[in-house]
A and B are shown apart, each in its own frame.
Chain A
Amino acid sequence: MTVLKTSLRNFFAHKGRMALSAVAVLLSVAFVCGTLVFTDTMNTTFDNLFQATSSDVTVSSKDSTDNGETTSRTGKPPVLPASVLGEVRKAEGVKSAEGTVFSTSVTVVDAKLDKLSPSSGAPTIVGGWNSNDARTMKITSGGAPKGPDQVMVDADTVDKHHLKLGDEISMITVVGTHRAHVSGIADFTVTNPGAAIFYLDTKTAQQTLVGQTGVYTNVNVTAAQGVTDDQLKKNVTAAVGHGYKVQTAKEVADANQKELQSFLDVMKYAMLGFAGIAFLVGIFLIVNTFSMLVAQRTREIGLMRAVGSSRRQVNQSVLIEALLLGVVGSVLGVGAGVGIAVGLMKLMGNMGMHLSTDDLTVAWTTPVIGLVLGVVVTVLAAYLPARRAGKISPMAALRDAGTPADVKAGVVRAVIGLLLTGAGGASLYVAATADAAKGGSAWLGLGVVLTLIGFVVIGPLLAGGMVRVLGAIMLRVFGPVGRMAERNALRNPRRTGATGAALMIGLALVACLSVVGSSMVASATDQLDKTVGTDFIIDSGRTGIITPQAVKAVKSVPELARVTEYRLVDVSLTTPDGRVPDNKVINAADPTFAQDLRTKTVSGSLADAYKPDSMSVSEGFAKDHGIKLGSAVTVNFKDGTTGKLTVRAITSDEVVIDKGAMYASIATVAKYVPAAKMPKDLMVFAMAKDGQQDAAYKALKSALHKYPDYTVRDQTDYKKALKDQIGQMLNMIYGLLALAIIVAVLGVVNTLALSVVERTREIGLMRAIGLSRRQLRRMIRLESVVIAVFGALLGLGLGIGWGAAAQKLLALQGLKVLEIPWPTITYVFIGSAFVGLFAALVPAFRAGRMNVLNAIATD
């Protein structure tokens, strides 16, 4: 009972000193809870949407995906004949059935040829207006589409693109371009996260999207009173036979949910991973806080021991304080987490993805996970300092209080740290020199973990040496103030080491990822230079197909010497070893592609792969399936017949572009796949006539002006796009790592603030003998900068090492070029010095305001 009482009193007496630790716990817990609430809310939103929008039973083509996706490589949705509708209607338990057509392989533009697609990556859907959709949509102005000239648009798209009734809209499909005017505006009655939807009347939709009437993409079936969806599915299946896909509303929703789930899971675990890093960093802060509190309370604890407290009681009293800290931090964190989730939803809203707070989902597990995690981590972190408190001897009560003496880093620590770091370094070396990616990545992971722990352990020892070096370089110019800052940073290497290590973790990850990212860009650029022999790359973008009209437009550009079409064909194979790898793709292209992309071969000539009934396979695939040059592979084209192709080239696996691809000519594929089922081009490559590159580029751009979904890039654009894409990804990761770095900066603030409290008397003495406030503040700032720069040096060094090892390992997969992004590294380094300055702001201000007399008063 007394233990609890002292703990409580201590906790409240020192709540200021615990504030930053509480914030660290709060931030980490908030991030975890925010992530959970956000992903749960996304789930709820989509679940509601899928549940609400699916009809009781849906019949669709066998070729359509389970979630009702209506794209295909041909650019036309998979359809079923209208006769199915009649058969469904005859089935028992059917109240009503209606056929409809949908497609997402459409480019929709307004009169100024601006895309009307959502910027968030949500789909653009064009379809026939039907009674099933009418359940979840309300026409807010105008009317439903009637006749070929009318289109109804969803309200979000109307708002975003400032459309109004009567505006002209064009829909570009493989069939052609269809123009219509806005006849009505419809709003969702459930939350629509961002899809753009355009409704035509059914006949117009059939003609526009498929090019023929009498077909539907799906038949929506409504059950009669008292008939369950499952029963209805059985009846409908009996009526239409097994040639079609029949799904209940739940099945469609589940399939959709499953696809979404994998995406959400990736996002969730990535974000939780970053929260974990923040927790790890927070541990350093908490350890430091409790170590310092215990050190400051040495005398008090000695007294408690002297009057009869047991070690256990002292130990417990510290742990109870940690428990209180964990509870306070976590409870606030759970609350803040909901706030973060709402913030993320707003952010998504700005990016075009609408989520409603009505759907905000806080599962009961969320606060529980947050609380347990926060409290357990805090108590574990306080364990070592608590043990140290228990070891304080009763004699401590009698000794002079003063400032705790310098703490020397031990030999045991040095040995353990060096062993760990050495083992980690060796693992990284094994990873870097591995000849198989699989085993190598395990070594890489081990190496990263071991070197990280090793650096944390020897951090205090490194702090001694590095702070002296930093002091010699940076602090000498500041004279005695600099010298005192250096000595202060050195006086407790364990504290400086832990504070620096916290910063090290975040920055090591930044450095590592920036090295890998830059190496990716450099390697890809290098390979582009070496292997790409074409001037222009035309990409289909969102729709995944380039319409034949657009290809024709490209081919009619007179400045071009050659144009290569490139498309993907779904196949399954029977290889010489008798196995049947399913779900494979053949990259079918015109024979000129051998010049456009000069992929290295390990045997054979790539040009031969484009000869009739020939193909190429990749090195790894050949090895796995015992394929040699001249081997025959049976290719079963999903939308056609089966052929026997001869392997005439085996391509190298050390590539970045089209890794693992199997090439064949379009002509070969055309022998087996009927024209109606032939996939459309995914990309088109174009080579300008000599000296006409600029003119060709302009001409291409203007030829494709009508098709805003397609991009025309020359090699420079392409490299830039590649770089931007990787840069964007890195920025996102840096953004998430910022959390860990913020916690680490809080750690620097915390260490300084507690040091200032601890050094009250020293500061008073210095002020008494004439140190000005400005000098005092500068001294604290310099100490802070030294700690931050120390952490940054460790982190950047470690991160570059990790990155280099990762690059060497990934070289097996084409990441040939190691590029260390020195500008980024330099910015981070300089940035860390500023972070140090920033962290010292408040502690320096408070030290400056300290009352000299109170500070020197003898007790």
Chain B
Amino acid sequence: MTSAVTIPRHGGTGERTAVAARARQVVKAYGAGETRVVALDHVDVDIARGQFTAIMGPSGSGKSTLMHCLAGLDTVTGGQIFLDETEITGLKDKKLTQLRRDRIGFIFQAFNLLPTLNAIENITLPMDIAGRKPDGAWLERVVETVGLAGRLKHRPNQLSGGQQQRVAVARALAARPEIIFGDEPTGNLDSRAGSEVLGFLRRSVDELGQTIVMVTHDPVAASYADRVLYLADGRIVDEMHQPTADQVLDRMKDFDARGRTS
């Protein structure tokens, strides 16, 4: 009832692992009574494993909130969220922190790196925190993929914005998380640097089989995804598979127009 779109319940093969994360009837509300604002209104969503999913929507549509809830950064008011078969709603802070550390990767819009650590230290930070040894071969491959081999000893302030975001991507990939969440990862970059980063994300899905969920309002960025979910007023209102930038843009315009007329 909340979602007009059909959500693939399970993968075609019937394997459980086809879904990396799912949300069931998720409600997120702020405040109470008169001032109650509903950011997510009974959202159902499945994130397919090994796919690149983009979440789009106008400002205030709840797309960032949805991502934060899926990633275990924020708590929900109602409903359930599963990461693979683990229900993360209701987990205590300690378990949630562990879960983020061991199973989830993050790329933020800005301020992704610790200024006191150099590139490689930033990349291995989640594993260091966990007290795990990074998988050397994998790390090399990740570094190779994002093209940072020559700059590993540089501090963030010695790197360009694009390089900084690539370090962030490498960090997210290095720990081989089940799922990577990106919050406008290219929002602060110029178009060339942005497309570079998006290219890496795309390749990590294709070549490394990574699952990625990205929040964006940039149609070009969304066009790198396998699937785009559209959010408006806290509900999923549409979705699109294998989108092109033009298609996405058209759909967005469509929403805007509808928003204005309604």
Mark out the residues of chain B between 79 and 113 whose CB falls within 8 Å of any chain A CB in the assembled complex. 93-94, 97-98, 100-102, 105-106, 108-112
| Cross-chain contact A405 with B68 (CB below 8 angstroms) | no
**Alpha-carbon distance between A856 and B126 when the two chains are bound, in angstroms:** 17
Point out the residue from B68, B98, B109, B112 that lies within 8 Å of A770, measured CB to CB. B98
- Asked whether B73 is an interface residue with its Cβ less than 8 Å from the other chain, the reply is yes
User: Judging by beta carbons under 8 Å apart, are A769 and B106 in contact?
Assistant: yes
Closest to B108 in A: A856
Q: Does B116 contact A (CB under 8 A)?
A: yes
B191 CB-CB contact with A under 8 Å: no
A483 to B129, CA, bound (A): 11
Contacts of A852 in B (CB 8 A): 73
Residues in chain B near residue A761, CB distance under 8 A:
111
Q: How far is the CA of A313 from the CA of B114 in the complex (A)?
A: 35
Contacts of A480 in B (CB 8 A): 125, 128-129
Q: Which residues of A contact B131 (CB under 8 A)?
A: 479
B116 near A771 (CB under 8 angstroms)? no
**Interfacial chain A residues near B94, Cβ < 8 Å:** 772-773
**Whole-angstrom CA separation of A491 from B171 in the bound complex:** 22
A773 contacts B116, C-beta separation under 8 Å: no
Given contacts A484-B116, A484-B117, contact A771 B129 (CB under 8 A): yes
In the complex, per-residue mask of A821-846: 1 if CB is within 8 Å of any chain B CB, else 0: 00000000000000000000000000
B238–chain A nearest beta-carbon distance, Å:
26
Q: Known contacts A479-B131, A484-B116, A484-B117: does B108 contact A765 (CB below 8 Å)?
A: yes
A contacts with B, residue count (CB < 8 A) = 30
Q: How far is the CA of A762 from the CA of B131 in the complex (A)?
A: 20
Q: Is the CB of B128 within 8 A of A479?
A: yes
Specify the chain B residue showing the minimal Cβ separation from A490. B116
Task: Evaluate whether A766 and B98 lie within 8 angstroms (CB atoms) in the complex, with A479-B131, A853-B74 already known.
Answer: no
CB distance from A468 to the nearest CB of B (A): 13
Residue of A nearest to B184 (CB): A858
Residue of B114, B121, B125 with highest tally of chain A CB at under 10 A = B114
Asked if A775 is an interface residue, CB under 8 A from chain B, the answer is: yes
Chain A 741-774 residues near chain B, CB threshold 8 A: 761-762, 765-773
Q: Are B125 and A769 in contact (CB under 8 A)?
A: yes
Q: How close is B228's CB to chain A, nearest CB, in angstroms?
A: 22
Q: Is B115 an interface residue (CB 8 A)?
A: yes
Given A484-B117, A491-B116, A765-B114, A770 contacting B130 (CB threshold 8 A):
yes
CB neighbours (8 Å) of B59 from chain A are none
Q: Smallest CB–CB gap between A639 and chain B, Å?
A: 79
CB distance from B144 to the nearest CB of A (A): 22
Please give me the residue from chain B that is nearest to A772 by CB atom: B97
Q: B residues within 8 A CB of A483?
A: 121
A858 close to B115 (CB less than 8 A): no
What is the CB-to-nearest-CB distance from B168 to chain A, in angstroms, rounded to a whole number?
10
Least Cβ–Cβ distance between B142 and chain A, in angstroms: 15
A402 part of interface (Cβ distance < 8 Å): yes
Asked whether A858 lies within 8 Å of B109 as measured between CB atoms, the reply is yes
Q: Is the CB of A766 within 8 A of B114?
A: yes
- Which residues 845-859 of A sit at the B interface, judged by CB distance below 8 A? 852-853, 856, 858
Tell me whether A403 and B128 are in contact in the complex, defined as CB-CB below 8 angstroms, given that A853-B74, A858-B108 are known contacts. Answer: no
Residues on A with C-beta less than 8 A from B108 are 765, 768, 856, 858
B242 CB–A CB distance under 8 Å? no
Min distance, Cβ B121 to any Cβ of chain A, angstroms = 8
Which residue of A400, A768, A858 is within 8 Å of B100 (Cβ)? A768
Name the distance in Å between A378's Cβ and chain B's nearest Cβ: 32
Give residues of chain B (185-202) contacting chain A, Cβ–Cβ below 8 Å: 187
Contact B97 A771 (CB under 8 A): yes
Q: Which of A403, A479, A487 contacts B117 (CB 8 A)?
A: A487
A405, B157: Cβ atoms closer than 8 Å: yes
CB distance from A786 to the nearest CB of B (A): 14
A765 to B131 Cα, complex, angstroms: 18
- A488 contacts the other chain (Cβ, under 8 Å)? yes
How far, in angstroms, from A765 to B97 measured CA to CA in the complex?
12
Q: Which of A479, A488, A852 has most chain B Cβ within 10 Å? A: A852
Contact with A along B62-73 (1 / 0, CB 8 A): 000000100001
Within 8 A of B (CB), among A770-816: 770-773, 775
- Cα of A768 to Cα of B96 in the assembled complex, Å: 10
Asked if A406 is at the interface of the complex by the 8 Å CB criterion, the answer is yes
Assess whether B110 is in contact with A773, with CB atoms less than 8 Å apart: no
Question: Which among B97, B110, B187 is the interface contact of A767 at CB below 8 angstroms?
Answer: B97
Q: Which residue of B is nearest A773, CB measured?
A: B93
A-B contact sample (6 more), CB < 8 A, given A765-B112, A853-B73, A853-B74: A406-B157, A480-B125, A484-B114, A484-B116, A771-B129, A772-B101
Q: Interface residues, chain A, CB within 8 Å of chain B? A: 400, 402-403, 405-406, 479-481, 483-484, 487-488, 490-491, 761-762, 765-773, 775, 852-853, 856, 858
6 inter-chain pairs at a CB distance below 8 angstroms, sorted by A residue, are A487-B117, A769-B100, A769-B105, A770-B98, A770-B102, A772-B129
